[in-house]
Structure 1
Amino acid sequence: MKKSKLLLFMLVSAFILILAACGGDDSSDGNTSDGGDKASDGEKDYGVKYLSILTGGTQGTYYPLGGTFADLISTETGVKTTAEVSQASAANMTALQNEEGEIAFVQTDIAYYATEGTEMFEGQPIDTVSALGALYPETIQLVTLADSGITSYEDLKGKKVSVGAPGSGTYANAEQLLEIHGLSIEDDIVAQNLDFGESTDGLASGQIDAAFITAGYPTGAVEALNATNSVNIIPVSAEKAEELIAKYPYYATDTIPSGTYGLAEDVPAVSVLAMLAVKKDLSEDLVYAMTKAIYDNTDKISHAKGSLIKAETGLDGIGIEVHPGAQKYFDEVNN
C-alpha cells in the first residue's frame, strides 16, 4: 500500500513538472513586452522604436507644427514620435550631428552653412544630415515703429538695431542684408543681440530703433507690438533682392501683404525657407514613410502655415543632399 502511494506521488510530480516546462517554453517564445523589438502584427519594422522632432521655442511656429507632424508620423508609421522644444535652426543641426534627435526644423540657409562648414559652422561641417523636404517661407522682417523716422536700410546707420544672437539664423540674415545695402554690423549700426520678444519689448520702450526678425508672418511678437504701437516693415527693393539672391541663392523674393500688422500697402521682402532635416542613417523606407505621412496629409494641419506645405514645392530652395527616402516620395508624386 505504501509503495502504491509512493508511485502515485511520483507520477503526479512528474506530470506537474512537464506542464510547468511546457508553459515556460510558450512564455519565452512569445514575449514581446521588452520594448517592442518585434513589430506588431500589420506594422512594418523600421528598426527604430522612437523618433524625436527638434523644433524651436514654444511661442514660435516650429513647435506647434512639430506636434502635428509627430502625430501624423506616429499614426502613419506606427513609430512613436514626439516634438521637442529646442533652440531652433543652428542648434538643431548640431543636435542631429550629436544624435540628440532624428528629425529637425531648420532654415534652408542654416542647413547649407552646416553642410558646407561656413558661417556659424566655420571649419566644422556637418556631414551626417540630409533633407526631408521644404515647408514654407520664413520672411526676414526689419521691424520699426511707424514714428521712428526709419524708412529705408540706409536710415539704420548709427541706430540701435537688434540682429539676433551671434551664430543664429537671424544674425546671418541681418549681416547679409546690411551688406547688400552697403552697411556692416560692426561699423555702421549699434548691434543688439536680442531674441524676438526682447526685440519687440525694446522697440516698445524706445531702447532700440529697429529689429531683424526672421519668421513666418504674421509673427506673434510683432502682432503683440502692433497692438500697442503702430509698426512699420522696411522694404527690400527688387534691385537689392536680385543682388542678394545672386550672391546667396538660398534667398527668395517675398511679399508681406497689406493688412498684416495693419500695413496699408504690400511690403516687398525676401525670405528663406523652413525645411525638415533628418539623420542620413535613417532607413530609406522609414524616411519615405515619414515624408508621405506629412505631405499626403497637409489637409490635417490646422496651423496657418499648413496651406503653404505642398509636395510640389517640397524640394524648393534646398541646397543640401536630399535623403533617398524623401527623394523617392517626391519623384513619385511630382512625375
Structure 2
Amino acid sequence: MKGKSLAWALSAALAAITLSGAVQAEEQVVTIGTGGQTGIYYVAGQAICRFVNRGAHGIKCNAPVSGGGVANVNGLRSGEFNFGIMQSDHQFKALNGLAPFDGEGAMDDIRALFSLQSEVFTILARHDAKVASFDDLKGKRVNVGNPGSGQRDTLEEILRVKGWEMSVFALSSELKPAEQASALGDNNIDAMSYFVGHPNGAIQEATTITAAVLVPVAGPEIDQLLAEKTYYTKAEIPGGLYRGNDAAIPSIGVKAVLSTTAQVDPEVVYQLVKAVFDNLERFKRLHPTFADLKEAEMIEAGLTAPLHDGAVRYYKERGWM
C-alpha cells in the first residue's frame, strides 16, 4: 500500500508540475512604454498594469521606465513595447511619417486605445533668472529634455516658428525629468521644460526647494504654431497648484494617449481596455490629473490614429459606439 501511495503521490506531483508548466506557457507578457519615474506616464502605465494583472486571462503586464513619448513610438515600431503612452501629436506624426519620425516613414499600423489626461507644455524658471516670458530664455541655461521626450520635440517646434536654434541658449542640457528639479534647485540650470499633466511631482519638488516661476508660452509665433499644427490646442496651468505661482499661466497642450499596433492580438487589447474601464473610478483616484477623466472623451479626444479592433469590440459592447 505504501508503494502504491508513493506512486500516486509522485504521479499527482508530476501532473501538477505539467499543469503549472502549461499555464506558464500560455501566459502572455505585454509591456507598456511609459516615461520617467517621476512622471505621470509612469504612474498611468503602472496603474493600467495593476488592473490587467488582476484578471484571470493569462496576460501579464509590466510598465518599465522609458525615454518618453517619442521613445515609446520607436519602441512600438521595433517591437520592444506592445503598448506605449505618448502625446496625441506624436501619435499623429508617427501615423503620417512626420518629424521626428520622417526617417522611418509613415507608421500606418499604429492604433489608438484611449486618451488619458490633458498635458501642458511647461517652462519653469528660477526666480533669480528673471525669465518673465519665453523670449527671456535667450542666453539662459535651459534643460531642453532628453532625446525621445515630448518636451524636446515640442520645444524644437516652438524654436522653429520663432526662427531660433538651440544655440540661443547659454546651455542646452538633456537631463531626464527626474533630474530636472534638483538641477534647478542647485542652480545648475536657469529653466526646465516639461510636457506634462498638472499637478506634477517634479514641478512641485522644484517650486518647494527653490523660488521658481511658471513661464507663459504665448504670443504671435505660438498662435502661428497652433494654426499650423492642429493637434496642439491652447491650454493653461491653473493657478495655486505650486508655491509662488498663484496665477493661471497660458501655454499649449495635447492629450496623453495609449497606443499600440495593429499586430497586437485583439483579445489582449480588449482585456487591457476592459481592465481600465471596468475599474475607471478606482483608476481616477490614483493621481490628481486622472480625476476629470470621462469615458466619452477618452474614446474620442486626442485619438489621432485609428482605434484598434480590440478596443472597438469593448466600446461596442458598452454601447458607446
Instruction: Indicate which of 308, 313, 320 corresponds to 2:305.
Output: 320
Relative to structure 1, is the Cα distance of residues 54 and 238 closer, same or farther in structure 2, using a 3 angstrom cutoff?
same
Specify the code of the residue in structure 1 equivalent to 2:199: P
Paired residue for 2:145?
164
Does residue 179 (structure 1) correspond to residue 179 (structure 2)? The answer is no
Tell me how many residue pairs correspond in the alignment. Answer: 303
Paired residue for 2:99?
119
Relative to structure 1, is the Cα distance of residues 159 and 330 closer, same or farther in structure 2, using a 3 angstrom cutoff?
same
Specify the code of the residue in structure 1 equivalent to 2:320: N
Instruction: Indicate which of 81, 86, 92 corresponds to 1:106.
Output: 86
Paired residue for 2:120?
139
> Deviations 1:217-250 (Å, cap 9, x if unpaired)?
2222221121122211111337655432221122
The 8 Å contact of residues 130 and 279 in structure 1, kept in 2 or not, is answered as yes
TM-score (norm 1): 0.79
Paired residue for 2:77?
97
Shift of 1:270: 1.5
Equivalent-residue separation in structure 2 for 1:185 and 1:199 (angstroms): 22
The 8 Å contact of residues 130 and 280 in structure 1, kept in 2 or not, is answered as yes
Equivalent-residue separation in structure 2 for 1:66 and 1:35 (angstroms): 28
The 8 Å contact of residues 137 and 271 in structure 1, kept in 2 or not, is answered as yes
Percent identity of paired positions between Structure 1 and Structure 2 = 27
Instruction: Indicate which of 261, 281, 289 corresponds to 1:279.
Output: 261
Shift of 1:187: 4.7
Equivalent-residue separation in structure 2 for 1:101 and 1:308 (angstroms): 28
> Deviations 1:126-168 (Å, cap 9, x if unpaired)?
3443111111112110111223221111222222222112443
Specify the code of the residue in structure 1 equivalent to 2:282: K
Equivalent-residue separation in structure 1 for 2:75 and 2:235 (angstroms): 30
Equivalent-residue separation in structure 1 for 2:202 and 2:303 (angstroms): 28
Within 5 A, what are the aligned runs for 1:282-301?
A: 282-301=264-283
Paired residue for 1:10?
none
The 8 Å contact of residues 250 and 318 in structure 1, kept in 2 or not, is answered as no
Paired residue for 2:47?
68
TM-score (norm 2): 0.82
Does residue 82 (structure 1) correspond to residue 62 (structure 2)? The answer is yes
Paired residue for 2:23?
36
> Deviations 1:173-226 (Å, cap 9, x if unpaired)?
11222334x242335333332223443333333333222111222222221121
Equivalent-residue separation in structure 1 for 2:50 and 2:22 (angstroms): 20
* Local SS of the residue matching 2:123: strand
Paired residue for 2:320?
334
The 8 Å contact of residues 49 and 62 in structure 2, kept in 1 or not, is answered as yes
The 8 Å contact of residues 37 and 178 in structure 2, kept in 1 or not, is answered as no
* 5+ residue gaps, structure 2: none
Specify the code of the residue in structure 2 equivalent to 1:308: D
Paired residue for 1:265?
247
Larger radius of gyration: 1
Paired residue for 1:49?
28
Specify the code of the residue in structure 2 equivalent to 1:189: F
Equivalent-residue separation in structure 2 for 1:284 and 1:146 (angstroms): 51
Equivalent-residue separation in structure 2 for 1:246 and 1:76 (angstroms): 44
The 8 Å contact of residues 68 and 150 in structure 2, kept in 1 or not, is answered as no
Equivalent-residue separation in structure 2 for 1:333 and 1:58 (angstroms): 36
Within 5 A, what are the aligned runs for 1:2-41?
A: 32-36=19-23
For the aligned residue pairs, the C-alpha RMSD in angstroms reads 2.9
Specify the code of the residue in structure 1 equivalent to 2:54: T
The 8 Å contact of residues 231 and 254 in structure 2, kept in 1 or not, is answered as yes
The 8 Å contact of residues 145 and 193 in structure 2, kept in 1 or not, is answered as yes
> Deviations 1:6-46 (Å, cap 9, x if unpaired)?
xxxxxxxxxx9xxx9xxx9xx99xx64333389xxxxxxxx
Paired residue for 1:212?
193
Instruction: Indicate which of 202, 212, 218 corresponds to 1:231.
Output: 212
Equivalent-residue separation in structure 2 for 1:77 and 1:91 (angstroms): 31
Equivalent-residue separation in structure 2 for 1:57 and 1:153 (angstroms): 25
Relative to structure 1, is the Cα distance of residues 268 and 72 closer, same or farther in structure 2, using a 3 angstrom cutoff?
same
* Local SS of the residue matching 1:254: strand
> Deviations 1:84-139 (Å, cap 9, x if unpaired)?
23222222222222222322212222222223233232220334431111111121
* 5+ residue gaps, structure 1: 1-15, 39-46
Equivalent-residue separation in structure 2 for 1:35 and 1:97 (angstroms): 30
Equivalent-residue separation in structure 1 for 2:269 and 2:83 (angstroms): 10
* Local SS of the residue matching 1:85: coil
Equivalent-residue separation in structure 2 for 1:171 and 1:76 (angstroms): 37
Specify the code of the residue in structure 1 equivalent to 2:296: E
The 8 Å contact of residues 33 and 68 in structure 2, kept in 1 or not, is answered as yes
Relative to structure 1, is the Cα distance of residues 256 and 296 closer, same or farther in structure 2, using a 3 angstrom cutoff?
same
The 8 Å contact of residues 68 and 148 in structure 2, kept in 1 or not, is answered as no
